[in-house]
């Protein structure tokens, strides 16, 4: 992979474009930075206790504008059974263009992060161009999680320039496990696409380069391969490997549950950590189970899994020679991708400068609001309670569904409004969401939150200090 990157950088068209972009990077100052920070402060102030008084906008939008996918991974909560897959791929499981455009116009300016297509495949979305162009116009970073089965060059080029993070979901680094779990995908094709995307990303100037992640869903069927994900990332030139335990979705995959395989998990997690430390790969797997002795030979539980028997020839390691890859084909596609990314950046970077100057006109108002933030924060911390409940959604973001419903989160939180009837500002500050927040911060949070992995307790001071504008 290193050879591909060197050849890519030496390509005459690529290197000329890269030089032009490097020169213009000093201009790259995304618009609305002050506004976004201020809005974030207002949201965090609600978490600190100023709940009802403030009107603000969501800082994060998880926009699930479609739920369509071309794969049918058995463990997937959206596509894992034929019935779910059929329902989620229905024509009507798509936000209307009118609502999508309204949402972008109304909320992207104040948002600090847009997650695209969280439950389907982003590169199938008819709205992806509008979302990414909206991110560009309003200076908002995007985050893309993809199965990498498709590589539409123009859209991937935009995603490369605009994303602060791209997550490549693959659940196996051997052909056998990959094709059993990622049902409908071809190992060689996906690896080609991943090599193209990673080479192109690594060729971009650092300031434009998204942070790349390899992400398996950690489950019984790929447990023994977890350490090999680190080797795979290193081979590719991807700096991060992350993963979450599989969420139990349906009886046919109930035995994928990692809690049924704790000793084996502790063994592979330790080995993955050892390899990550040795090779300088950042690893984000769940912590090992406390007090459980690692055991490499711990037997698999039950047979409700994606893989029930492995062939005798199966070796749970990544083997680059096992993959049918063409260096020339990767080079050609990666060069196209870098050129398309740079063209997109150069065509639009001046717009950032123009918007930034226009935004400067609001400076006086922004200054006043900053002073207000500081004085309110000082009072909020003096109520004798050192900790607050904290969740990545309640005072940060929303989850938008293909049917225009707006839910508190993607983890079972209630629907609090519909974009077909109200604006996002009305929903975010409306009585349904405020009532949910009240309960969330009370001594008995909603049942859905009590069992949720996103819920944490954090020191109030930590939140307050991160918001304060003045140093004293
Ligand atoms: C639902 S997918 C949608 C995006 C895209 N289609 C993909 O696969 O990356 C989002 C993420 O959820 C993960 N995922 C799928 N089924 C899961 C489960 N049962 N528990 C936890 N994560 C799961 C996928 O591996 C992927 O990283
Ligand atoms: S590719 Fe993603 S959305 Fe599609 S079935 Fe697999 S996990 Fe689900």
Name the pTM for this structure.
0.92
Closest of 24, 13, 366, 360 to residue 203, by C-alpha = 13
Residue 278 has a CB neighbour count (10 Å cut-off) of 10
**Integer Cα distance of 38 and 109 in angstroms:** 12
What's the DSSP call for residue 59?
Answer: S
Report yes or no: 150 and 123 within 8 Å, Cβ to Cβ.
yes
91 CB-side CA count, 13 A: 0
| Helix H or strand E encompassing 81 | none
Report yes or no: 86 and 69 within 8 Å, Cβ to Cβ.
no
Greatest Cα pair distance, the chain, in angstroms, is 71
Report yes or no: 48 and 388 within 8 Å, Cβ to Cβ.
yes
Q: Is the CB of 247 under 6 A from ligand 2?
A: no
**Integer Cα distance of 97 and 94 in angstroms:** 9
Closest of 72, 42, 93 to residue 370, by C-alpha = 42
Q: Is the CB of 215 under 6 A from ligand 1?
A: yes
**Integer Cα distance of 309 and 33 in angstroms:** 53
* Helix-strand-coil split of the chain, %, nearest 5: 50, 10, 40
User: Considering every ligand atom, which ligand is closest to the CA of 217?
Assistant: 1
- Alpha-carbon radius of gyration of the chain: 23
How close is the Cα of 298 to the center of ligand 2, in Å? Answer: 29
**Integer Cα distance of 267 and 285 in angstroms:** 13
Q: Which atom of ligand 1 is nearest the CA belonging to 80?
A: 16
Report yes or no: 244 and 286 within 8 Å, Cβ to Cβ.
yes
How close is the Cα of 77 to the center of ligand 2, in Å? Answer: 8
Q: Is the CB of 71 under 6 A from ligand 2?
A: yes
Report yes or no: 109 and 32 within 8 Å, Cβ to Cβ.
yes
What's the DSSP call for residue 320?
Answer: G
Q: Is the CB of 169 under 6 A from ligand 1?
A: yes
- In 21-117, DSSP assigns E strands to 60-63, 113-116
Residue 192 has a CB neighbour count (10 Å cut-off) of 20
- Print pLDDT tens along the chain (472 aa): 778 888 888 888 888 888 877 776 654 566 788 888 888 888 888 887 766 567 889 999 999 999 999 999 999 999 999 999 999 999 999 999 999 999 999 999 999 999 998 889 999 999 999 999 999 888 899 999 999 999 999 999 999 999 999 999 999 999 999 999 999 999 999 999 999 999 999 999 888 899 999 999 999 999 999 999 999 999 999 999 999 999 987 899 999 999 999 999 999 999 999 999 999 999 999 999 999 999 999 999 999 999 999 999 999 999 999 999 999 999 999 999 999 999 888 877 655 544 444 444 456 666 777 777 777 777 776 667 778 888 888 888 999 999 999 999 988 899 999 999 999 999 999 999 999 998 998 888 899 998 888 888 888 777 777 766 665 5
Ligand 2: residue whose CA is nearest its atom 6: 73
Token couple for 313:
């020839």
Closest of 353, 375, 351, 330 to residue 472, by C-alpha = 375
The predicted-structure confidence for 335-373, as pLDDT tens digits, reads as follows 999 999 998 888 776 555 444 444 444 566 667 777 777
Report yes or no: 370 and 190 within 8 Å, Cβ to Cβ.
no
Q: In a mutational test of the pocket of ligand 2, which residue from 71, 83, 194 has the highest number of ligand atoms less than 8 Å from its CB?
A: 71
413 Cβ neighbours under 8 A, 6+ residues apart: 393, 399, 407, 436, 446, 448, 449
Report yes or no: 157 and 344 within 8 Å, Cβ to Cβ.
yes
The predicted pLDDT at position 106 comes to 96
The predicted-structure confidence for 317-345, as pLDDT tens digits, reads as follows 999 999 999 999 999 999 999 999 998 88
Report yes or no: 235 and 202 within 8 Å, Cβ to Cβ.
no
Q: Is the CB of 73 under 6 A from ligand 2?
A: yes
**Integer Cα distance of 268 and 4 in angstroms:** 31
Q: Which atom of ligand 2 is nearest the CA belonging to 185?
A: 1
Location of structure tokens 């979305």: 125
**Integer Cα distance of 91 and 72 in angstroms:** 17
342 Cβ neighbours under 8 A, 6+ residues apart: 14, 17, 18, 20, 21, 204
* Segments in 280-390 forming alpha helices (H): 327-359, 363-380
**Integer Cα distance of 81 and 386 in angstroms:** 46
How close is the Cα of 76 to the center of ligand 1, in Å? Answer: 6
């Amino acid at each position: 992979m290193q050879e591909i990157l060197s050849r890519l950088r030496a390509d005459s068209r690529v290197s000329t474009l890269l030089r032009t972009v490097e020169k213009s990077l000093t201009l790259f100052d995304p618009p609305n930075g002050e506004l976004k920070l201020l809005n974030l402060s207002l949201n965090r102030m609600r978490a600190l206790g100023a709940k009802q008084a403030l009107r603000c906008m969501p800082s994060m939008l998880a926009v699930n504008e479609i739920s369509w996918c071309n794969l049918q991974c058995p463990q997937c909560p959206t596509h894992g059974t034929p019935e779910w897959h059929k329902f989620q791929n229905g024509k009507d499981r798509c936000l209307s263009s009118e609502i999508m455009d309204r949402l972008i116009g109304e909320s992207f300016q104040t948002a600090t992060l847009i997650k695209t297509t969280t439950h389907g495949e982003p590169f199938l979305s008819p709205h992806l161009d509008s979302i990414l162009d909206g991110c560009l116009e309003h200076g908002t970073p995007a985050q893309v999680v993809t199965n990498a089965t498709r590589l539409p060059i123009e859209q991937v080029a935009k995603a490369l320039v605009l994303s602060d993070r791209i997550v490549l979901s693959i659940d196996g680094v051997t052909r056998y496990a990959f094709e059993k779990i990622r049902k409908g995908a071809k190992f060689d094709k996906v690896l080609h696409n991943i090599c193209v995307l990673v080479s192109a990303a690594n060729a971009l100037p650092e300031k434009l380069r998204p942070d790349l992640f390899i992400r398996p869903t950690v489950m019984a069927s790929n447990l023994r391969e977890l350490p090999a994900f680190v080797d795979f990332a290193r081979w590719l030139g991807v700096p991060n490997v992350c993963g979450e335990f599989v969420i139990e979705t349906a009886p046919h995959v109930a035995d994928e549950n990692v809690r049924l395989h704790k000793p084996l998990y502790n063994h592979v997690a330790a080995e993955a950590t050892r390899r990550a430390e040795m090779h300088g790969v950042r690893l984000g797997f769940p912590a090992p189970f406390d007090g459980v002795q690692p055991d490499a030979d711990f037997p698999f539980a039950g047979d409700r899994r994606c893989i029930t028997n492995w062939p005798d020839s199966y070796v749970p390691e990544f083997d680059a020679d096992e993959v049918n890859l063409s260096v020339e084909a990767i080079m050609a596609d990666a060069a196209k991708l870098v050129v398309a990314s740079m063209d997109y950046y150069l065509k639009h970077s001046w717009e950032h400068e123009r918007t930034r100057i226009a935004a400067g006109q609001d400076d006086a108002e922004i200054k006043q609001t900053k002073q207000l933030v500081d004085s309110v924060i000082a009072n909020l911390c003096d109520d004798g309670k050192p900790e607050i409940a904290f969740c990545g959604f309640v005072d940060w973001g929303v989850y938008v569904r293909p049917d225009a419903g707006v839910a508190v989160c993607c983890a079972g939180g209630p629907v609090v409004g519909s974009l077909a009837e109200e604006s996002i500002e009305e929903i975010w500050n409306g009585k349904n969401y405020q009532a949910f927040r009240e309960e969330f911060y009370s001594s008995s949070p909603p049942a859905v939150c009590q069992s949720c992995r996103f819920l944490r307790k954090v020191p109030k001071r930590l939140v307050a200090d991160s918001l304060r504008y003045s140093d004293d």
